[in-house]
Structure 1
Amino acid sequence: MKDSTMGLPEDHLIPLVDEGLGNSAYLVDLGDGRALAVDASRDLRALNAAAERRGLIVAYAADTHLHADFLSGAVQLGHDHGATILASAAGHRAFAHRGLAEGDEVDLGGLTLRALATPGHTDEHLSFLLLDGRAELGVFTGGSLIVNSAARTDLLGPERTEELARAQYRSLRRLTELPDSTAVWPTHGAGSFCSAPPGSERTTTIGAQKRANPLLAAPDEDTFVSQLTASLGSYPAYFDRLGEANRRGPALVTGTPLLTELSAGGVRALVADGGHVVDVRPAADYAAGHIPGSLSIPLRGQFATWLGWLLPDTAPLVFVTADGQDPGEIVRQAYKIGYERLAGRLDGGLPAWTAAGHPLASTAFVTADRTDSRPYVDVRQESEFATGHVPGAVNIELGGLARAAADAPEGAIVACGHGERAMTAASLLERAGHTDVAVLDGGPADYAAAHGEQLVRSPEGIRS
């Protein structure tokens, strides 16, 4: 495929970043019309497009672990491309795959993939070392070593967190025995709730991590465990379901699932039967008028995260869209996290709702100079809140707000970084019976500037 002394040509490794979930998949051009895919999600649009541009067939689909934040695309690649699925034998996956254990190697036809047991993020976690002869080109580290951190170890329950953190310590130490020049290709990156810290870098090297990763600077295992577990914030509720779903294997998707057009009467009947209305229009549109009791989740990169955090996957969902929004994007993001009970969308949008004689609700969406003396509820993550917040603000994370709605003060101004999450929060509070809720069109810096205040930084500082 190439001169073996040359290593992997730079353009033969194609990172495929899902900005919404904060993860990277990788497509490796093996140089002979075949490719290796690593940690591909069920949303295969970008991967298939990259393979098609190069005329590649995906011959191998490798998963580093039983993912909790997305459904794996490996089974679909096996069906669509005939890919051999490579995964940990210890994962006991219930579908055809080649189970690998420590030290097992796969001949890719000129390159070799070697399995390294790196438990911690999950029990059965593997890293995949890509070799050209004896030369270590790079290592796909999944949720083990990530840029300037390591992935969370609490996904199997609080009783396993410390045990897995200690396993993570040993796994990272093992990876640092690779040559400093070895490329590190993690799955989890900035924006992932699997504990990647903020930053723009998605890949790194072993040497760079030895110099920059604060966890690798820990003087001993106990300190490492303390630092890692102290950094663990909340994570989406759907994470607790997807590991087992990936072990069983996601159902194949044939064709492009479509959203059925539902009449206003059909929407009302669905809600009466336990369904949920999800309004995916921009926050300002929702504020101006919406179906009472609907949940605002604007359609953007983070749509899947909040859908999976705030709603069950067992109830039918109907969507309200704006003109120009792609219903297919709703479906693809929902399917990526295992949400398939998509009953449809309101045919004709809100005009059809009002034409049928049904009422609308509205939510105040105000700029910082028009917030008067309302209580301030900040729904950002605790780590974001710690970096700087409005004096006197109450921090209730959006993910936990439904359970804590009674703790939110009446007549509050609800805020996040820009307004999207805050509008979602306001819709949750309204569903819980709160009235006179307002949403800040902006963030804490805007509010502080308008009120002549300085943002407050929490004593514990930034948590990763």
Structure 2
Amino acid sequence: MRVRVLETPELGNRSYVVDDGEVSVVVDPQRDLDRLEPLLEHDVSHVLETHLHNDYVSGGRELARRTGAAYAVNAADDVTFERLPLHDGETLRAGSLAVSVLATPGHTPTHLSYVVRDLADPLAPPAVFSGGSLLYGTVGRTDLVDPALTRELAAAQHASAHRLGALPGDATLHPTHGFGSFCAGGGGTGASASTIADEWRHNTALTTVNASVFVDELVAGFTAHPSYYAHMAGLNALAEPGVDLDAPLSPASPAQVSALLAAGASVVDLRPPADFAADHLSGTVSVALGAQFATYVGWVTPWGRPLLVLGAHRDDLAEARRQLTRIGVDDVTTAWGPVPELAGDDDARSSYRRADFAQLAAERGPDDVVLDVRRADEHAAARVRGAVNVPVHEVEQRHHELPTGARVWVHCAAGFRAGIAASLLEREGFDVVHVDDPFDCAVELGLTDG
């Protein structure tokens, strides 16, 4: 039995292909299947979902359509498509592979895990595909389906972890979440591989025997999660169609860019923060292309509104499209080139200043505002003295709390989130300075408490 991993670091997730040399099984595939298909060296018998995902749109149904595989989903999931309905305790066969289905509620009420054994090699350890149940050092969070069910699902998550913990110690563990995903319940070991025995040493769900204590500690550690999560399970219940990422991009004209700006479309500029600060179309939002691009576009732009993405190069826009399709954002118009060429004759352009923490320390005036756009838990742990905390995803709703006319120095942990927040505040008319500097520099300069 061979297990191959497909990483999606931008969302902190993994997909898996398991084969016996003749037949393959795929677990939790992402929507951009062109990355996965080169791993499919054998016929695919089953595409398995551990749950209706809250953080990305699955490519499972489309992969099953392309390969002729059975698309296997919990029978209890309320979906609108034909699937192989799965029940706790049943076993599927895929060549010499035996796939045992285990109900492991917690991350969602209908969550499943899969234990795969190779009947041709009975002494080999099984492989456990735990989705959002047992992760490396932690578990999947339990507040994404319904806040009212958070504690109930956390208790179920503890029981599910112990059910998986009863498997052989040498069983290899293969979670979907836990590699930077907001679906993880906090903590984690940062490991890239693990076994059930390893988890008994390091995973709080297993080392904390008292379920009540575990629930309290797990729930207390939850932080904010992206707002677009609210739409993912619904899209997965509908099984979104596949996407053609080979289709050529057609750039919008300056007139089309102007029209979209005037119509109130969400306009995102994916260039580096330094380039954006130096010159950009007024009213646009800076979300630099990188590992967290889609997460924050989905978090700070209104869901369902037409989206225009601007950049300097065609290849950057192609990568942006790929990342956005993973979260179901398909209505995207793109344009690329120098800012003067993107702007229409009547489009205003703007700029603002960037600085580091040393400049903040030297120039901060008595009426200036230092705005920390990190999460509340980050701010509580350590903060610039006198800083106001408004997490980046709350800036658009809470900007009225800041004094008008004040100069606002905006910082985060490394500069990325501060760039987003600075652009949002400038759009509202604030005099902003983007502090594009690691927070550690503020600590070294003695600017912080905590």
**Structure 1 and Structure 2 fold alike (TM over 0.5):** yes
Counterpart of 2:54 (choices 48, 55, 68) is: 68
Of 26, 38, 41, which residue of structure 1 is paired with 2:30? 41
* 1:426 pairs with 2:415: no
The CA distance in 2 between the partners of 1:99 and 1:420, in whole Å, is 43
How far 1:282 moved relative to its partner?
A: 0.7
Aligned to 1:346: 335
- CA distance in 2: counterparts of 1:218 and 1:317, whole angstroms: 45
Q: CA offset at residue 141 of structure 1?
A: 0.5
Aligned equivalents of 2:251, 2:59: Cα separation in 1: 28
Q: In 2, distance between residues paired with 1:282 and 1:30?
A: 45
Residue type at the aligned position of 1:132: D
Counterpart of 1:97 in structure 2 is 83
Q: 1:331 to 1:400 in 2, by over 3 A?
A: same
Describe how 1:192-211 pairs up with structure 2 within 5 A: 192-195=181-184, 196-197=186-187, 199-211=189-201
**Matches of 2:87 and 2:160 in 1, distance apart?**
15
Match runs of 1:39-438 below 5 Å? 39-51=28-40, 55-133=41-119, 137-195=126-184, 196-197=186-187, 199-254=189-244, 256-323=246-313, 325-342=315-332, 344-346=333-335, 348-354=337-343, 356=345, 358-371=347-360, 372-373=363-364, 374-408=368-402, 410-433=406-429, 435-438=430-433
Q: Which residue of 1 aligns with 2:449?
A: 456
Judging changes above 3 Å, is the alpha-carbon distance between structure 1 residues 456 and 30 closer, same or farther for their aligned structure 2 residues? farther
Change (3 A) 1:443 1:254: closer
State the alpha-carbon separation in 2 of the partners of residues 428 and 382 from structure 1: 19
Report the secondary structure of 1:188's partner residue.
Answer: coil
Deviation, 1:407, is 2.5
User: Structure 1 residues 101, 191: CA separation in 2 closer, same or farther (over 3 Å shift)?
Assistant: same
CA distance in 2, matches of 1:20, 1:377: 26
SS of the aligned residue for 1:169 comes to: helix
1:64–1:125 Cα contact (<8 Å) kept? yes
| Residue number in structure 2 paired with 1:442 | 437
Displacement of 1:25 in angstroms is 0.9
Residue 380 of structure 1, CA deviation: 1.9
Letter in 2 for 1:411: R
**Deviation, structure 1 residue 28:** 1.4
SS of the residue aligned with 1:185? strand
- Computed over aligned residues only, the root mean square deviation of the Cα atoms, in angstroms, reads 2.0
Q: Tell me how far 1:84 sits from its aligned partner.
A: 1.6
SS in 2 for 1:369: helix
Structure 1: segments with no counterpart, 5+ residues: 1-7, 458-464
Q: 1 CA distance for matches of 2:373 and 2:73?
A: 38
Distance across 1 between alignment mates of 2:107 and 2:347: 49
Q: Cα–Cα, structure 1 residues 386 and 113, in superposed 2: closer, same or farther, change >3 Å?
A: farther
How has the CA–CA distance of structure 1 residues 90 and 17 changed in structure 2, closer, same or farther, with 3 Å as cutoff? same
Contact 2:258 2:344 in 1 (8 A): no
Q: State the TM-score, normalizing by the size of structure 1.
A: 0.89
Instruction: Give the Cα separation in 2 of the matches to 1:174 and 1:243.
Output: 25
Gaps (5+ residues) in structure 2?
Answer: none
Q: Retained in 2: the 8 A contact 1:189–1:197?
A: no
Cα contact 1:189–1:202 (8 A) shared by 2: no
Please report how far the alpha carbon of residue 394 of structure 1 lies from its aligned counterpart in structure 2 after TM superposition: 2.4
CA contact 1:296–1:424 (8 Å) conserved in 2: yes
Which amino acid is 1:445 matched to?
D
C-alpha change, 1:57 and 1:362, in structure 2 (3 Å) is: farther
Secondary structure in 2 matching 1:404: helix
Q: Secondary structure at the match of 1:175?
A: helix
Q: Kindly tell me: are residues 284 and 198 of structure 1, through their superposed partners in 2, closer, same or farther at Cα, counting changes over 3 Å? A: farther
CA separation of 1:218 and 1:233: change in aligned 2, threshold 3 A: same
Q: Distance in 2 between matches of 1:111 and 1:58?
A: 12
Q: 1:31 to 1:365 in 2, by over 3 A?
A: same
Kindly state the Cα deviation for residue 283 of structure 1 after the two structures are TM-superposed.
0.8
C-alpha offsets along residues 314-367 of structure 1, whole Å, 9 cap, x if unaligned? 21111110136432211111111011111x223544121457353310121112
Aligned equivalents of 1:137, 1:265: Cα separation in 2: 59
> Aligned residues: percent identity?
35
Mapped contact 1:13–1:29 kept (Cα < 8 A):
yes
Asked if 1 retains the 8 angstrom alpha-carbon contact of 2:161 and 2:205, the reply is: no
SS of the residue corresponding to residue 208 of structure 1 reads helix
Alignment CA distance shift 1:345-1:319 (3 Å): same
Alignment partner of 2:407: what SS? coil
Shift of 1:199: 4.7
Q: In the TM superposition, what is the alpha-carbon distance from 1:258 to its structure 2 partner? A: 4.2
SS state of the match for residue 36, structure 1?
A: strand
Q: Is the 8 A contact 1:43 1:73 kept in 2?
A: yes
Cα distance in 2 between the residues matched to 1:382 and 1:399:
11
3-state DSSP class of the match of 2:85? strand
Residue type matched to 2:449 in 1?
V
Question: For 1:26 and 1:384, how far apart are their aligned partners in 2?
Answer: 33
Q: What is the CA–CA distance in structure 2 between the aligned matches of 1:158 and 1:357, rounded to whole Å?
A: 46
Change (3 A) 1:27 1:313: same
Confirm or deny: 8 A CA contact 2:271 2:311 kept in the other structure. yes
CA contact (8 A) 1:145 1:172 kept: yes
Secondary structure of 2:422's partner?
helix
- TM (norm. structure 2) is 0.92
Q: C-alpha separation between the residues in 1 aligned to 2:377 and 2:5?
A: 28
SS of the equivalent of 2:58 reads coil
Whole-angstrom CA distance in 1 between matches of 2:284 and 2:291 = 20
| CA offset digits 1:198-221 (Å, max 9, x no partner) | 653133111111111123222311
